[in-house]
Amino acid sequence: MTTSRVLHFLRGPATSPAPADRRGPRQPQRLRFPQAGEGMRLVSVACSSSSTGEDEGMTYKGAGVDIDAGTELVRRIRKMAPGIGGFGGLYPFGDDFLVAGTDGVGTKLKLAFETGIHDTIGIDLVAMSVNDIVTSGAEPMFFLDYFATSKLDVDLAEKVIKGIVDGCEQSDCVLLGGETAEMPDFYAEGEYDLSGFAVGKVKKDKLIDGKNIVKGDVLIGLPSSGVHSNGFSLARRVLQKSGLSLSDQLPRNDGITTTVGEALMAPTVIYVKQVLEIISKGGVKGLAHITGGGFTDNIPRVFPSGLGAKIFTGSWEVPPVFKWLQQVGNIDDAEMRRTFNMGIGMVLVVSRESADRIIEDTHGSSPAYRIGEVIEGEGVHYV
């Protein structure tokens, strides 16, 4: 029997990180673009296009991502595995539920390849899973990763794994192990793919499942750092249309200097510490991680049947990157709200009597905004 051309390396358990400050998520990192000679590749973004008119509004589906098809697949899977559908999967374990989540970072990886920025994409990977499981009130315990490439570049892979370690430290969990798969001819030269898996736990009597949400409850939004890790198939299409490179300045009128690449590559906020601290003080009934599907598809996932949301669209400042994406792509409001997080990465559903206290407690480096309320009738309505 010949030796397989696929090499697998099982990484052993990492040392548990020291307990970290639980005051809230770290400030978004300032990204550093590699200088010439550090592996920086030509900044250009290749996207297929089926647009038939220059002024036609861009859509996520037109960029190749069909949210409705994904929803239909979940519906079919539910027939085979009825327990799915939440942000995290629940497994009863004694007095606890183990809460598990898995995700990747999508085509944000394409921008990592273009910019040569590989040391923060691992933060995105951890964030996508731990932010999902914390919506049940679970404390993340450990994380595993999967790194796949056609030819292993050890230095590059080390940068990616370092970002994963940083993400684990931010969420107080352990990088327990992972898989490195080297698969010749499977990926383009210099490219790789990532997946991550997180497991946490929550006491059964502390589970947050949204079942006691009622009309009049308040929606509180925690700000994002930008696009996070969803919508990049559309964002890359907009970048192509704009004619800008990732090293060009992002058009904005607030006096802050930011390149397009810095704005798009800003690491996803890890909300674990901030959310668990808020939960510990009471009043939280449900949480929604705002990822693919935006407000429109994610917020209703935590509501009992017959309830919906009213969103106050002027209650927080939408970051300049979203305004630029919408203007250049001629994207309508409904499409933006179903594709991007629009500046809010986590939504908490809280009792009316707890809302003011929670907002007051989060002033400073980790603010929160009253962005809406629970109403009768299903769906998300914007006013």
pLDDT digits (tens, 9 = 90+) for 181-212: 999 999 999 999 999 999 999 999 999 999 99
Sequential DSSP letters for 357-382: HHHHHT-SSS--EEEEEEEESSSEEE
Query: What does DSSP say about strands 307-311 and 344-350: parallel, antiparallel, or unpaired?
Result: unpaired
pLDDT of 121 > 80? The answer is yes
How many Cα atoms occupy the beta-carbon half-sphere of 257 within 13 Å? 2
CB 131 within 8 A of CB 173: no
Q: What is the mean pLDDT of residues 155-163?
A: 98
- Helix, strand, coil percentages (3-state) for the chain, rounded to 5, are 30, 25, 45
d(CA 137, CA 121): 25
The DSSP 8-state label assigned to residue 179 in this structure reads: E
What's the confidence (pLDDT) of residue 19? 37
Lowest mean pLDDT among 94-98, 194-198, 250-254: 250-254
What 3-state DSSP class applies to 252? coil
What the chain holds in terms of domains, given with CATH numbers, is 85-207 (3.30.1330.10), 209-382 (3.90.650.10)
Kindly report the average pLDDT of the chain as a whole number. 87
Give me the helix-helix angle, 121-133 and 154-170, nearest 10°: 40
**pTM of the predicted model, to two decimals?**
0.84
DSSP string, 299-318: GGGGSPTTEEEEE-TTSSPP
User: Edge-to-edge, what's the strand order for the sheet holding 139-149?
Assistant: 7-11, 174-182, 139-149, 192-203, 96-103, 89-93
Task: Flag whether pLDDT at 257 surpasses 90.
Answer: no
For 238-339, strand residue ranges (E) read 284-289, 307-311
Could you tell me what percent of the chain has a pLDDT over 70?
85
Q: Which residue has the higher pLDDT, 11 or 213?
A: 213
Task: Please tell me the least confidently modeled range out of 27-31, 38-42, 235-239, 321-325.
Answer: 38-42
C-alpha radius of gyration, the chain, whole number: 21
The three-state secondary structure class of 333 is helix
Q: Which residues pair with 177 in a beta bridge?
A: 144
Q: CA-CA distances (angstroms) from residue 207 to 85, 91, 190, 236?
A: 16, 12, 43, 38
Percent of the chain topping pLDDT 90:
75
Pairing of strands 307-311, 380-382: parallel
The closest of 194, 225, 189, 43 to 116, measured between CA atoms, is 43
CB neighbourhood size of 376 (10 A)? 10
CA 220 to chain centre: 18
Cβ(149)–Cβ(191) below 8 Å:
yes
Query: Is pLDDT at 2 greater than 60 in this prediction?
Result: no
**Residue 346 in contact with residue 225, Cβ under 8 Å?**
no
Query: Vertex 75, ends 71 and 78: CA angle to 5°?
Result: 135
Helix (H) or strand (E) holding 297, with range, is: helix 294-298
C-alpha–C-alpha distance, residues 237 and 60, integer Å: 9
Distance CA 147, CA 164 (A): 11
Which of these, 121, 173, 127, 56, lies nearest to 269 by C-alpha position? 127
The whole-angstrom separation of Cα 278 and Cα 269 is: 16
Tell me how far CA of residue 49 lies from CA of 107, 236, 272, 306, 351, in angstroms: 16, 11, 38, 40, 46
CB 67 within 8 Å of CB 231? no
Confidence class for position 301, pLDDT limits 50, 70, 90? very high
- Statement: residue 18 has pLDDT above 60: no
Q: How confident is the model at residue 31 (pLDDT cuts 50, 70, 90)?
A: low
Establish how many alpha carbons lie within 13 A of residue 256's alpha carbon, considering only the half-sphere containing its beta carbon: 10
